Amino acid sequence: MSAQKRCLQGRCHPSRVLLGLVFLCTLPSLAWAWPVDVELLLKKGEARFVKPAAVEWVEVDEPSIVSAELFETKEILFEAKKPGTALLLLYAEGRAAVWRVVVEESAAPKAKPPPSPPNPLLETRKACPKLGFHTDKLPKISGEVDTEACRQALLFLLMQPGWLAQELELVFEMGVLASQLAQMQKATEAALGKGKVKLRYLGATLEMSGKLSPKEHRQALWSVFFQSAGRIALDDSMQVVSPPPPETPKEKKL
C-alpha cells in the first residue's frame, strides 16, 4: 500500500502528511486554507448572479467593496461597489470555501506603476528548496514543506491573486503542521476567547470542535483560514447554537 493511501486512511507516515488535490476528490469535507477556491472579476457598478453547487450562507469580509446576497434559488447576487479585493466565505453541509472577488474600475486610467515590492514567488523559491513550481501543468506547486520559514513564505504567496486550491499537491512535515496548528489555535482564541474552539489533526484532517453561536462559527472559520497554507481537509464538528430571542418586557399593570 502506498504512503498516500495510508495517509488517506488516517495512518500517516510519522514525519509528514500529504495535502492537496487528492483531498478535494476523496474526502467528504472540503479542503480549507489558502489559496482561494475561485476568483471572480467584476467591474465597478456591475451586478452578476452566480450559482454555486451548494450553499447555505455566505459572508463578505469587505462589504464596502462588493455585496453578496443569497436568494432562495441558491443564487448569489454580487454587486460591485468600488475598486478593491474582497473575500467571500461560503458554507454548506459542513463544508466551507473562500472566493476572491476583485472589483476593477470600468475604465481605469493609466497610472505610473508603483515601486516593485518583494517578489513572493521568488521568496518562496528561496525558502522552499524542496518545492517544484510549474507554469504549464497541474499541480503548479508540488513537493515538501519542511520548515516553518517555508510555510510562512508559501502562505504569503498563496494569499496573492492568481493562485487556486486545485493547483497544489504538497507534503507537510509534522513539525510544520504542529506550528501551523498553534497559529490557528492562537488566532481562534484571539477572536473568540480561550476554550471556545478546540483544534486537532486526525491524520491529515483538521477537526474543529466547540459550541458556538452562528456569528462565532463564522469567526472561527475565518480565523483558521487566514493562518493555513496549502489546503487541509476540514472536519467541522462545531456545534452551532442560535442564542435565545430576547424576552419581551412584561407590561406593567396599572
How far, in Å, are 124, 183, 223, 247 from residue 188 at the CA level?
A: 26, 9, 6, 30
Q: Give the C-alpha separation, 229 to 151, whole Å.
A: 7
Q: Which of 28-37, 87-96, 120-129, 162-171 has the lowest mean pLDDT?
A: 28-37
- pLDDT tens profile 81-100: 999 999 999 999 888 999 99
Same domain for 66 and 45, yes or no, is yes
Sequence-distant (≥ 6) Cβ neighbours of residue 44 within 8 angstroms = 80, 81, 82, 83, 103, 104, 105, 106
- The answer to the question of residue 247 being in a domain is no
Q: Which domain holds residue 78?
A: 38-104
Q: What percent of the chain has pLDDT over 90?
A: 65
- pLDDT tens profile 143-154: 999 999 999 999
Same domain for 44 and 25, yes or no, is no
Same domain for 47 and 140, yes or no, is no
Same domain for 126 and 231, yes or no, is yes
pLDDT confidence band for 15 (50 / 70 / 90): very low
Residue 218 burial by CB count (10 A; 0-12/13-18/19+): exposed, middle or buried?
middle
Q: Tell me how many domains the chain contains.
A: 2
Same domain for 21 and 147, yes or no, is yes
pLDDT for position 169? 92
Predicted model pTM: 0.77
- The answer to the question of residue 73 being in a domain is yes
Sequence-distant (≥ 6) Cβ neighbours of residue 129 within 8 angstroms = none
pLDDT for position 131? 96
pLDDT reading at 26 higher than 50: no
